[in-house]
Chains A and B, each alone.
Chain A
Amino acid sequence: DQQVKQNSPSLSVQEGRISILNCDYTNSMFDYFLWYKKYPAEGPTFLISISSIKDKNEDGRFTVFLNKSAKHLSLHIVPSQPGDSAVYFCAASGDRDDKIIFGKGTRLHILP
């Protein structure tokens, strides 16, 4: 039972354009959401997070949007750069449960 779903296994975006990665969740007890980036043979790297009391968080080129009513979040990367090519994991955790639940990931390809 996937509590965090990333329905797009891969996404290709032209360099300089906006990349939008989507994520849906089912557990209404989740109150903290995270995005991680992963290169092959490395551990996941923390990118950005958002608390459920907010609907937007921005850090440089990365913005995360949260729609609690739809149980949906998205990561926007603008402008996209070649180094952004990686697998992106959406993740969530609950208030009393510190373990992080991950989606299956979306592979982002930035095209020159």
Chain B
Amino acid sequence: DTGVSQNPRHKITKRGQNVTFRCDPISEHNRLYWYRQTLGQGPEFLTYFQNEAQLEKSRLLSDRFSAERPKGSFSTLEIQRTEQGDSAMYLCAAPRDNSYNEQFFGPGTRLTVL
């Protein structure tokens, strides 16, 4: 148990629809990270939060993507007007204690855009 849960585990949607994923760290980590993994690739950094503040966004995060972390606890990642290229595994991670270098991942949300 990594202490990070994600919902839903799977999401199938049609191109053009909006989707939202949720990440819940079991204990309140002050940092929370989002990554994306496509077939044949390692996870790629998308964005991270320090408490409720979004501190960095990757260039992979187009204007159609938005992430929030209200109250510094759970986080949501929304994709608007989904495209087939958005199909991927979306992973949430939280650091172990104060060791920011070691991040523990949730089970991920597998998105399929038809």
Contact A43/B91 with A32-B101, A49-B102, A99-B56 known, Cβ cut-off 8 Å: yes
From A34, A46, A98, A103, name the one whose CB has the most chain B CB atoms within 10 angstroms: A98
Cross-chain contact B101 with A49 (CB below 8 angstroms): yes
Q: Does B104 contact A (CB under 8 A)?
A: yes
Cross-chain contact A43 with B48 (CB below 8 angstroms): no
Q: How many A-B residue pairs have CB under 8 A?
A: 64
Cross-chain contact B43 with A102 (CB below 8 angstroms): yes
Cross-chain contact A44 with B101 (CB below 8 angstroms): no
A contact residues, range: 20 to 34
Chain A residue numbers with a CB within 8 Å of B4 are 43
Chain B residue numbers with a CB within 8 Å of A101 are 45
Size of interface on B: residues with Cβ below 8 Å to A: 29
Binding site secondary structure of chain A: strand
Cross-chain contact B108 with A46 (CB below 8 angstroms): no
Q: Of the candidates A43, A89, A103, which one forms a contact with B2 in the assembled complex, judged by CB atoms under 8 Å apart?
A: A43
Cross-chain contact B105 with A45 (CB below 8 angstroms): yes
Contact A99/B108 with A43-B91, A45-B2, A89-B42 known, Cβ cut-off 8 Å: no
Binding site for B on A (CB under 8 A): 4, 32, 34, 36, 41-46, 49, 89, 91, 93, 98-105
